[in-house]
Structure 1
Amino acid sequence: MGIPDYWIKLLKEKKDEEWSMGDMWHTLTNRRYGEPHVAYCESHDQALVGDKTLAFRLMDAEMYWKMAVDQQSLIIDRGMALHKMIRLVTLATGGEGWLNFMGNEFGHPEWIDFPREGNGWSYEYCRRQWSLVDNPSLRFKFLNAFDQAMVRLAQEARLLNNPPPFPLNIDETNHVMAFHRGGLVFVFNWSGDRAIMDYMLPVPQKGEWRVVLDTDNARFGGFGRQDVSMPHFTDGDGNLSLYLLPRTALVLKRVGSAVMARRLGRED
Structure 2
Amino acid sequence: MVKNDQKSKDMMRIEESHNILSSEPPNVHHISDSNMIISYKRGQLLFVFNFHPTTCYKTYTIGVEEAGEYQLILDTDEASYGGHGLLREDQYLQRTNTKRADGFRNSLEVVLPRRSAQVYKLTRILTT
Percentage identity across paired residues of the two chains: 28
Task: Determine the structure 2 residue equivalent to 1:87.
Answer: none
Deviations 1:157-210 (A, max 9, x none): 110111110012010110000000021000000000111121111113111111
What code does the residue aligned with 2:97 have? D
Bigger fraction of residues in helix: 1
**Which one of 117, 122, 126 corresponds to residue 254 of structure 1?**
122
Q: Is 1:172 matched up with 2:40? A: no
> 2:41 & 2:76 partners in 1: Cα distance?
17
Q: Which runs of 5+ in 1 are unaligned?
A: 1-139, 257-268
Bigger fraction of residues in strand: 2
Deviations 1:18-48 (A, max 9, x none): xxxxxxxxxxxxxxxxxxxxxxxxxxxxxxx
Task: Determine the structure 2 residue equivalent to 1:205.
Answer: 66
Greater relative contact order: 1 or 2 (C-alpha under 8 angstroms, separation 6 or more)? 2
What code does the residue aligned with 1:158 have? N
Task: Determine the structure 2 residue equivalent to 1:240.
Answer: 108
List aligned pairs for 1:112-127, cutoff 5 A: none
What code does the residue aligned with 2:109 have? S
Kept after mapping to 2: 8 A contact 1:210/1:229 = no
What code does the residue aligned with 2:107 have? N
What code does the residue aligned with 1:177 have? I
Give the length in aligned residue pairs: 117
Deviations 1:77-135 (A, max 9, x none): xxxxxxxxxxxxxxxxxxxxxxxxxxxxxxxxxxxxxxxxxxxxxxxxxxxxxxxxxxx
> 1:156 & 1:174 partners in 2: Cα distance?
31
Structure number with larger C-alpha Rg? 1
What code does the residue aligned with 1:242 have? V
Three-state SS of the structure 2 residue aligned to 1:226 is: coil
Structure 1's consecutive aligned runs of 4 or more residues displaced over 3 angstroms after TM superposition are none
Task: Determine the structure 2 residue equivalent to 1:21.
Answer: none
> 1:218 & 1:187 partners in 2: Cα distance?
18
Query: RMSD between aligned alpha carbons?
Result: 1.3
TM-score where L is the length of structure 1: 0.42
What code does the residue aligned with 1:162 have? S
What code does the residue aligned with 1:181 have? R
